[in-house]
Amino acid sequence: MKKKAALLLAGMMSISLLAGCGSNSSAPAPAPAESGNGSAAAPADKPSYSLKYAELNPDGHIMDEAADKFAELVSEKSGGRITIEVYPAGQLGDEKTAYQTLQMGGGAIDIARGNTNSLTDFGVQKLNLFGLPFIFRDRDHLWSVLHSDIGDDFLKEAQEVGTGMVGLFYLDEGSRNFFTVPGKEIDSIEDFRGMKLRVPTTDLMSETVAAMGIQSTPISFSELYSALQSGTVDGAEQPHSGYYSNKFFEVAPNYILSGHTYSPSIVLMSEQVWDTLDAEDQAILMEAAKETEIWNRESIEVLDNQLLEDIKAAGANVIEVPDKTPYMEATQSVVEKYIVGLEDEYQAIINK
């Protein structure tokens, strides 16, 4: 289920706030006894739940479509008893706001997608490894790690360290690439020196670009287009999907295929809300989560190839980076810093 109306959103958030931060947003309601569309029948004595899912990217983006797929699967497997309302385009706030809301027990947000390297401030360390520059060789390497004991172990970390959040599943939106405004063409890593780029506000990302001579500038994602347009920043970085769906090619047409970071997304749920579900309903969510991962993996590679063609057709100046060695050498000190105490986990990822 997709929610787009701002007035409806404001009303629902107001109700959640009045109910208190610790309240469970998933209020029981009568459930249908049977389903005539092939879905599982909902037991008459089981409560119904409505959960709010926050997504930063716009409607139609691969991450938004993955959220819709998850919602569809959960509804089917619960016989319509558990519904997930997807709010795309940052309607429920930025990434940090989403995490904090999950920690407080849900309500305005029960489930949110974020980046695995954006949880450092919440005590998470192992997941940070996924955001290290050039840690994954390619998509096959990424998924071989995510669908291994390493991925399973890292997915549990948020809950194990006491963040108040539960990891549900991973998503792949592609490797991240730099893009710059007109007049800021890039022929080598040296051309980045002194540029102001917007990157996610994490120490890891700030230090990664700083190692390349780039000054990271904090800008809300919702304000990035106008910041590029006005010259507040010289560029930013996104995977193909984010660059194209947000039309950044209109204001920053130089698209550099750096692939400097390939950090997967992680979908998290408020632990307080999770604990209100019985074991059967938790299993429904996790089964839908695994199937959503499979759907995402099958969809993203085809989409990535098409998006690159669409980016070129939109008039962007696509710049290949045939030799990434200078980028890898420049950021090696960042890798060495962030693997301290996690050397075994890092090596296990590299060797996978």
CA 287 to chain centroid, in Å, comes to 20
Q: What is the pLDDT of residue 43?
A: 65
Do residue 323 and residue 275 come from a single domain? Answer: no
Token duo for residue 61 = 């983006």
Does 308 fall in a domain? no
Do residue 135 and residue 258 come from a single domain? Answer: no
Mean predicted confidence (pLDDT) in 113-140: 94
Q: What is the pLDDT of residue 27?
A: 39
% of the chain residues with pLDDT over 90: 83
Do residue 330 and residue 268 come from a single domain? Answer: no
Domain membership of residue 241 as a residue range: 176-262+316-351
Q: What is the pLDDT of residue 40?
A: 66
Do residue 105 and residue 198 come from a single domain? Answer: no
Q: Tens digits of per-residue pLDDT, 78-94?
A: 999 999 999 999 999 99
CA atoms within 13 Å, Cβ hemisphere of 281: 21
Is residue 119 within 8 Å of 158, Cβ to Cβ?
yes
69 Cβ contact partners less than 8 Å away, ≥ 6 residues apart:
292, 295, 296
% of the chain residues with pLDDT over 70: 88
Q: Tens digits of per-residue pLDDT, 169-213?
A: 999 999 999 999 999 999 999 999 999 999 998 899 999 999 999
Q: What is the pLDDT of residue 11?
A: 40
Q: Tens digits of per-residue pLDDT, 224-242?
A: 999 999 999 999 999 999 9
Does 21 fall in a domain? yes
C-alpha dist (Å) from residue 26 to 16, 113, 220, 266, 273: 11, 19, 30, 22, 8
Token duo for residue 319 = 């710049």
Does 345 fall in a domain? yes
Statement: residue 31 has pLDDT above 80: no
**Distance, CA of 221 to CA of 217 (rounded, Å):** 12
Do residue 131 and residue 228 come from a single domain? Answer: no
Q: How confident is the model at residue 280 (pLDDT cuts 50, 70, 90)?
A: very high
Do residue 213 and residue 87 come from a single domain? Answer: no
Do residue 24 and residue 123 come from a single domain? Answer: yes
- CATH number of 60's domain: 3.40.190.170
Token duo for residue 160 = 């194990």
Do residue 132 and residue 182 come from a single domain? Answer: no
Do residue 245 and residue 100 come from a single domain? Answer: no
Does 311 fall in a domain? no
Do residue 21 and residue 99 come from a single domain? Answer: yes
Do residue 190 and residue 83 come from a single domain? Answer: no
pTM of the model: 0.87
Does 254 fall in a domain? yes
Does 337 fall in a domain? yes
Do residue 21 and residue 163 come from a single domain? Answer: yes
Comparing 19-23, 73-77, 245-249, 339-343, which segment has the lowest mean pLDDT? 19-23
Q: What is the pLDDT of residue 23?
A: 36
Mean predicted confidence (pLDDT) in 298-308: 95
Does 1 fall in a domain? no
Is residue 71 within 8 Å of 86, Cβ to Cβ?
yes
Q: How confident is the model at residue 19 (pLDDT cuts 50, 70, 90)?
A: very low
Does 310 fall in a domain? no
Other C-beta atoms lying within 10 Å of the C-beta of residue 13:
18
Statement: residue 21 has pLDDT above 80: no
Token duo for residue 258 = 């750096």
Statement: residue 222 has pLDDT above 50: yes
Strand-pair partners of 256:
178, 319
Number of domains the chain is built from: 2
**Distance, CA of 319 to CA of 336 (rounded, Å):** 29
Mean pLDDT in the chain? 90
Q: What is the pLDDT of residue 166?
A: 98
Q: Quick one: DSSP state of residue 254?
A: E
C-alpha dist (Å) from residue 120 to 126, 217, 219: 9, 19, 19
Q: What is the pLDDT of residue 308?
A: 97
Query: Looking at per-residue confidence, does 19 or 266 come out higher?
Result: 266
Q: Tens digits of per-residue pLDDT, 146-171?
A: 999 999 999 999 999 999 999 999 99
